[in-house]
Amino acid sequence: MCGFVCLWKIDDPALARRMIDKIAHRGPDDVQVSQAPNVPAVMAHCRLSIIGPDDGRQPIYSAEDVLVANGEIYNYADLRAILGESAFTTRSDSETILHLFRTDQLRWISKLDGMFAFVLATPERIIAARDPLGIKPLFMARIGEGLAFASELKAFDGLGLDSVEAIDPGGMFDSLDGFREWYRIPQGAAELEAGETAEPIWRELRLVLEAAVRKWMVADVEVGSFLSGGLDSSVIAALAAQSIDRPLKTFSVGTPGSPDLLAARRVAAHIGSDHYELSFTADDLARVLPDVVYHLESADVDLVRSAMPTWFATTLARRHIKVVLTGEGADELFAGYTYHHAYARKPRALADELTRSLGAMHNINLQRVDRVTMAQGLEARTPFLDRDLIDFAQSIPASLKMKIDEATGETTEKWILRKACEDLLPPELVWRRKAQFDEGSGTVDTLDLALSGLIGEAPPVDRKSEGRLYDRLLRERYADPELILENAGMWVAERVAI
């Protein structure tokens, strides 16, 4: 996991250095600034070494082409075998991007399986692309006659730019022909077909889940797992624990005695993990809030609230490991949010809403996970957003995701996921009702106390006052705050009508 800057037709290594220094937290192991020979590009890269730690320094060169990349290519070993080991000069998974490009196949990028953003330059052109769901960020700005690319918005802060734009998830920019969409989320299915039953589906789902977790654990360093005690993180942790021959390290945070801490202890005991906990107080939240807002690159109230427990979970995990698995994506794939219950008797609308929300993840939950974990040099991986798992989950009828008990009228969110994994965990944990991370961890009430002291209002603090505080904190840290706010991730309700 890394961060990078690329200047195309902008001959200014000093500018590249200033930009990469602003995002150097993404890659504390190594920072490089390089002017590519025979290519009109300056590349800067900060590295968190995960795969090929000894020789994976970037930029990576192949003949006259040069690459900087962020993320992980999980099928890199298969691609190396197909492309031929003799072509490679490093053990880095990122180098496969260069050699795939050089095959000159029309849809070469579609063969990459993982989470990634990259910029690839040749003497004649520059190409920038992003993974299917936008797990890894990538921004672009025009500076004079040239182009600048970077992994975070803050790299552009203070440059006096009029605008910055994000490369869309599943999107590619090519200086020869502009933007194109190389990946589209498959449309979700609504109801079972005549004669179709649920059991074969949940049994296959289990196999797809196991394969995704194994794939997303590929690394040359130890991989751990966030564990909130909710269904999603517990399933990931349980499957990860089964796939390795040592105790899995798990990490849980919350206020003392919070439901998440208690539930996580039970899951950890059940799966035999090496479990770590961190408690936080209102004073702790107040202390880290300015850094959370700055690194999050957003002042959105809901996004900031959800980022607070993630910050402490990252602090805890980074003391022990460099890579952690998370449960993001399960709610969007399997109907896990409270508002999804209202769609229970309209499976077509639910399927459409899940498809929409998957496409919006890059601007909310995935932005939170990427910015907050990378702020402390931790790589977060999201196995639920494995491309094969997305394809299979979208083929599962929505009526099996939000399932209705016709006898009682009760609805159960993520029913098919629970059914596929009910043997992994105790029944009371598998069928536990969902709580949002900031609620189950105790963050909501504790944050109100912290905000009350900062704002001078009696709790609970008014959301408008809370929003104004976050906006002020962001503006205090940036030279060009409007540039950041114009691109900030926000929870926007554009839900499919019921």
Q: 147 and 244: one domain?
A: no
Q: Which of 181, 209, 227 marks a domain boundary?
A: 181
Q: Give Cα 318 distance to the centre of its chain.
A: 17
493 domain-assigned: no
Q: 161 and 216: one domain?
A: no
pLDDT of residue 440: 57
168 annotated as a binding-site residue: no
The b-or-e profile of 140-149 (16+ CB within 10 A means b, else e) is: bbebeebbbb
d(CA 25, CA 379): 12
Answer yes or no: are the C-beta atoms of 117 and 155 closer than 8 Å: no
Q: 167 and 215: one domain?
A: no
Residue 340: how many other CB atoms lie within 10 Å: 24
Q: 175 and 230: one domain?
A: no
pLDDT of residue 489: 78
Which residue range forms the structural domain that includes residue 241?
199-486
pLDDT of residue 267: 96
Only one residue has tokens 């505080």, namely 469
Q: 417 and 359: one domain?
A: yes
164 annotated as a binding-site residue: no
Q: 120 and 169: one domain?
A: yes
65 domain-assigned: yes
Could you tell me whether strands 171-174 and 126-130 are parallel, antiparallel, or unpaired per DSSP bridges? Answer: antiparallel
Q: Which of 181, 216, 242 marks a domain boundary?
A: 181
Only one residue has tokens 């605008």, namely 163
Per-residue three-class SS string for the chain: CEEEEEEECCCCHHHHHHHHHHCHHHCECEEEEEECCCCCEEEEEEECCCCCCCCCCCCEEECCEEEEEEEEECCHHHHHHHHCHHHCCCCCCCHHHHHHHHCCCCCHHHHCCEEEEEEEECCCCEEEEECCCCCCCCEEEEECCEEEEECCHHHHCCCCCCCCEECCCCEEEECCCEEEECCCCCCCCCCCCCCCCCHHHHHHHHHHHHHHHHHCCCCCCCEEEECCCCHHHHHHHHHHHHCCCCCCEEEEEECCCCHHHHHHHHHHHHHCCEEEEEECCHHHHHHHHHHHHHHHCCCCHHHHHHHHHHHHHHHHHHCCCCEEECCCCHHHHHCCCHHHHHHCCCHHHHHHHHHHHHHHHHHCHHHHHHHHHHCCCCEEECHHHCHHHHHHHHHCCHHHCCEECCCCCCEECCHHHHHHCCCCCCHHHHCCCCCCHHHHCCHHHHHHHHHHHHHCCCCCCCHHHHHHHHHHHHHHHCCCHHHHHHCCCCCCCCCCCC
Which CATH number is 142's domain given?
Answer: 3.60.20.10
Residue 240: how many other CB atoms lie within 10 Å: 23
Taking Cα atoms as reference points, which of 154, 80, 68 lies closest to residue 111? Answer: 80
34 domain-assigned: yes
317 domain-assigned: yes
82 domain-assigned: yes
From first to last of its 498 residues, what are the pLDDT tens digits of the chain? 699 999 999 999 999 999 999 999 999 998 999 998 899 999 999 998 888 766 678 999 988 899 999 999 999 999 999 999 888 988 899 999 999 999 999 999 999 999 999 999 999 999 999 999 999 999 999 999 999 999 999 999 999 999 999 999 999 999 999 999 999 999 999 999 988 999 999 999 999 999 999 999 999 999 999 999 999 999 999 999 999 999 999 999 999 988 889 999 999 999 999 999 999 999 999 999 999 999 999 999 999 999 999 999 999 999 999 999 999 999 999 999 999 999 999 999 999 999 999 999 999 999 999 999 999 999 999 999 999 999 999 999 999 999 999 899 999 999 999 999 999 999 988 987 765 555 556 788 899 999 999 998 888 889 999 999 999 999 999 999 999 999 987 776 678 988
pLDDT of residue 352: 98
Which CATH number is 479's domain given?
Answer: 3.40.50.620
Considering only CA atoms, give the Rg of the chain.
22
State residue 121 phi and psi, 5-degree precision.
Answer: -120, 140
Half-sphere CA count of 468, side-chain side, radius 13 A: 8
- Give how many domains the chain has, as a whole number: 2
Q: 267 and 410: one domain?
A: yes
Half-sphere CA count of 442, side-chain side, radius 13 A: 21
Taking Cα atoms as reference points, which of 257, 282, 206, 205 lies closest to residue 443? Answer: 282
Q: 205 and 347: one domain?
A: yes
Q: Which two tokens stand for residue 130?
A: 């992003």
Q: 93 and 154: one domain?
A: yes
pLDDT of residue 55: 67
494 domain-assigned: no
Q: 268 and 171: one domain?
A: no
Q: 227 and 318: one domain?
A: yes
497 domain-assigned: no
Q: Is 2 a catalytic residue?
A: yes
CA 250 to each of CA 156, 243, 378, 451, 477: distance values in angstroms, whole numbers, following the listed order: 36, 14, 14, 30, 33
290 domain-assigned: yes
Choice among 2, 6, 46, 421 that is catalytic? 2
Q: Which of 121, 149, 181 marks a domain boundary?
A: 181
Q: 18 and 92: one domain?
A: yes
pTM value is 0.95
